[in-house]
Chain A
Amino acid sequence: MTGNEAVAEAMRQVNPDVVAAYPITPQTEIVQIFSTFVADGLVKTEFVTVESEHSAMSATIGAAAAGARAMTATSSQGFALMWEMLYIAAGLRLPIVMPVVNRALSAPINIHCDHSDTMGARDSGWIQIFSENAQEAYDNVIQAVRIAESRDVLLPAMVCMDGFIVSHGMESVKLLKDEEVRGFIGGYEPAYSLLDVDHPITVGALDFADWYFEHKRQEAAAEVPVAEVVRRVGEEYGKLSGRSYGLFEAYRLDDAEVAVVALGSTAGTAKAVVDELRREGVRAGVLKIRLYRPFPGDEIVRVLSGVKAIAVLDRSDTFSTMGGPVFIDIKASMYAPIYDDSVYDDSVHGPVRGSTHDRDARDTGARDTTQRPVIVNYIYGLGGRDIDLEQIRKVYERLQAIATTGEAGQCVSYLGVRE
């Protein structure tokens, strides 16, 4: 089945109380398939056919605040139109789950895959999980429900998958049984509900300077345990399905000297290249990031610490002349542990639950300025431009040269573009 079909199946099995959605290519199919499930009575969902994505997210927020399990799905311009409400969903701590089929942003208008849309909201407070293929998109939607609703998290989560490549490509996908999904996600008991009329609550109050900062600090604190929850849910899901998930996939990285970092379907292409290179005796590996927000920088740096040269592949640009977003994140993570318990005063702030920090990370030498791997960036595949095995092989060849000389040369390059 296609990625869109797989995601629609996952949504059917999750059986949300409310889905509000608006069509946009290449997400449209999800909404269409889901509405046939509604029309055939296969779900108990109240399906709200809103007049825009802004209203889709607004209605989803209303439904979630009313204590319902609520979902929507979007792409590209629709995602951008939701932007204002994305921050509100996270700020109100509503565990909404949203599949996003990644597509380029206008202008120029383009319907094909890149990651510009979701990268625009990487700092909105949403959890972002990327999927390599239809199987992962399916698995991730189910896990996202558990992650978002986890009591120490309560944050919205988006499950990203590459437009057309994953959304429309045909693959064989293993589905769980309906009752397995139901058992895995469990029933939903919201902490608060607007429909609990005997216990009225005020949602979305006005915060002046005397409270806003504290509430934002609490939101930031809620991001800290996410990685641990993602790992736990990924393991538990593995026991159920035979497919375990972590924060990322370290493919043949143990002894790697050169490595490529990528999100989504491109990681799969890079893995194929690595298999070839390994047969030729090249110590190559791939780091596929799954959890992109919150960013598990400490762990990523740790698995990359033994690598000599790294190329980060970004399917979007920041237009900052500093390279792509993933590149900037990884480079920043290479300088110092983010959560340093030794300088964190628990008595003032309370413990950082599930901190991703490991005291030993500082001892690996990865953060030592002289031993840091050389890292370069490639912006690629904007607007659905294909990336092939040959191009990725060229990247590894350059990495091998960098590994021997220690010279990076140009830091940010554009791969597969006519200059």
Chain B
Amino acid sequence: MKVILETKARKKPFLPIEAESIIPRNFLNGTELTVFEGNKERRLSDIFRIFVEGTSVTPEKIEIVLKGDTSRIKRVGEYMDAGKITIAGDIGMHCGNFMSGGDIEVLGNADAWLGREMRGGNILCRGNAGHYCASGYRGEKTGMRGGRVEVLGNAGDCCAEYLTGGEVHIHGSCGDMAGVEMKGGQFIVEGNATRPCGNMKDGTCMIFGTVHEMLPTFEMIGTRVMTDRKVTMTVYKGDIANRGKGTLMIQK
């Protein structure tokens, strides 16, 4: 089953839409769903032109496609557990919050908090991701616990903050403080990063670009050859300022 949601022109296109109801499981029983536009509750059909192709009895078989101006639509895929969401353009904040299964593919850019506190599933962002990609929310000490986030462009600041499990792969560069407070999982940055992994407790972070303003609280313990990439990495342990036992690897 394929559900295509194409945005209609809105009177106030800058008002954010809270669309946590857009997950495949909810479309098993039709499209009578509501979203909030600002503080007004709207029917899904007020915001989108809805096209449904085929039927499905399980959420795994449902694919949702979002088209049009979707850059102000927040919380798409929150608590999603199965199925697929494809976003043809940009997506608003908090896409894939707490998701535990299924796939999300963003063809454009994603705003902040992409895949925050994710438990499982896959997110692929073909453009750039905003700040706090794959991180924990304010005050939360256990961020992403499982699954995989892949960003083909760059990510903003505090990417993979409080990463506890799963894998985060950024093909471009990260902003400031990537992987701070990491407690587990694997974090790979193909590009550059600034001040990475402060207060890291555990987990592995690999940076293949240039590290700016490397923190002095990491202890160099040797080198490791990555046979698959044919490169040598310098291995650091830390953050020793806070008894951390994480591994930070930086390409020589």
- Do the two chains bind? no
Residues in chain A within 8 A of chain B (CB atoms): none
Residues in chain B within 8 A of chain A (CB atoms): none
